[in-house]
Amino acid sequence: MTLKTNIGNNSFDSCMMNASGVWCSTVDELEALIDSKAATFITKTATLSPREGNLLPRVHHFGSNSINSSGLPNEGIDYYLAALANFEATHPDRAFFLSVTELAEDQIDAIMQRVHQSDYQGLVELNLSCPNVIGKPQVGYDFEMTARILDRTFSYFDQPLGVKLPPYFDLSHFDQMAEILNRYPLTYVNSINSIGNGLVIEQDAVTIAPKQGYGGLGGAIIKQTALANVRAFYTRLKSDIAIIGTGGVTSGRDVFEHLLCGASMVQVGTALLQEGPAIFARLEEELKAIMEEYGYTSIDDFKGKLKDSI
């Protein structure tokens, strides 16, 4: 039995990894992921300069769920490029993911140029979907801006590139975004980021400080929305654009359902934050047990094969 998968021309021994923002801010955290059962890692979303993020407390857990308004705290692009250079030198047989974003179109171009001019050889994820930067809308909800950014980026960028999308809730929006994405040689689409601007109340008060308590929801509570987005894009995008499914994963069954909807890789966020990198060993064991029950020997046996009727 194998959990091997491919994203573009890169092969991975497993189909599970961290979601950007979780266990990936520092070199020590990235090393812990390398030493775990995770297929690989993706870095914290990097900006041109380091950012402290929003006021504390900015993350709150409730059951198997979370709300956060972190505000893109990170060490800056140069830190992550240097870290990745070391990881690529010490692990030449492994491919890694670098997540990047910025807060304005010209800044997005600047950070993509910075990556393009570096020696980094791995995959790049352009985050179009952070809901927690105060005063800044999510790029992924502005279809015209998304197209402009991708037009500009693909005029020079020739490395494997994916985009991280916000959740969509209207079928016409799936159609519109898929039409845009299909214009470009994207390697993958990552769906979804947290569901923006939720509100969690405990003891008659909000639970996080920034934005009057509004924040992105994660964890088990968002799984059904994540599955819907994965399936919607799997059935609309060109077959050479892989899907990374993110959202609501707490068990091997959740991983199985993401794959069934069409994901080639599944990312873990809130549950990883709660359980630590050891979660990947548990998820692998649970997923393999489900596959054995069905008689599957690889994820290709069932990936994307969700039944359309009961």
Question: In this predicted model, what pLDDT tens digit does every residue of 31-71 receive, in sequence order?
Answer: 999 999 999 999 999 999 999 999 999 999 999 999 999 99
- Strand-pair partners of 165: 191
> Can 130 be counted among the known catalytic residues?
yes
Give the 3-state secondary structure of residue 202: strand
Does some domain include residue 240? yes
Angle among Cα 128, 130, 134 to the nearest 5 degrees reads 125
pTM of the model: 0.97
- Strand-pair partners of 198: 215
Write the DSSP symbol of residue 118.
S
CATH number of the domain bearing residue 269 = 3.20.20.70
- Distance, in Å, from the CA atom of 239 to the CA atom of 189, rounded to the nearest integer, reads 12
Catalytic residue among 15, 24, 130, 261: 130
Does some domain include residue 13? yes
| Cβ density class 176-195: b for 16+ within 10 Å, e for less | ebbebbeebebbbbbbbbbb
Handedness of CA 87, 128, 102, 182 (dihedral sign): positive
Q: pLDDT of 178-222, one tens digit each?
A: 999 999 999 999 999 999 999 999 999 999 999 999 999 999 999
Q: What share of the chain is helix, strand, coil (3-state, %, to 5)?
A: 35, 20, 45
Which residue range forms the structural domain that includes residue 147? 5-53+71-195+219-301
pLDDT at 135: 75
Angle among Cα 155, 126, 136 to the nearest 5 degrees reads 110
Side by side, the strands of the sheet bearing 65-68 are 59-62, 65-68, 214-219, 195-199
- Distance, in Å, from the CA atom of 84 to the CA atom of 197, rounded to the nearest integer, reads 32
Terminal Cα distance for the chain, rounded = 28
Give the 3-state secondary structure of residue 62: strand
Element (H, E) at 195: strand 195-199
Does some domain include residue 66? no
pLDDT of the chain, 310 residues: tens digit per residue: 999 999 999 999 999 999 999 999 999 999 999 999 999 999 999 999 999 999 999 999 999 999 999 999 999 999 999 999 999 999 999 999 999 999 999 999 999 999 999 999 999 999 999 877 777 789 999 999 999 999 999 999 999 999 999 999 999 999 999 999 999 999 999 999 999 999 999 999 999 999 999 999 999 999 999 999 999 999 999 999 999 999 999 999 999 999 999 999 999 999 999 999 999 999 999 999 999 999 999 999 999 999 998 8
Does some domain include residue 203? no
Question: Please, where are the H alpha helices in the chain?
Answer: 27-34, 77-90, 105-116, 143-153, 171-181, 223-234, 252-261, 270-275, 279-294
Q: Output the CA–CA distances (angstroms, integers) from residue 67 to 19, 28, 63, 201, in the order listed.
A: 15, 25, 11, 11
Cα dihedral: 232, 142, 77, 52 (round 10): -110
* 58 touches 215 (CB < 8 A): yes
Does some domain include residue 205? no
Element (H, E) at 218: strand 214-219
> What's the domain count of the chain?
1
Does some domain include residue 59? no
Does some domain include residue 210? no
Does some domain include residue 201? no
- Distance, in Å, from the CA atom of 191 to the CA atom of 235, rounded to the nearest integer, reads 13
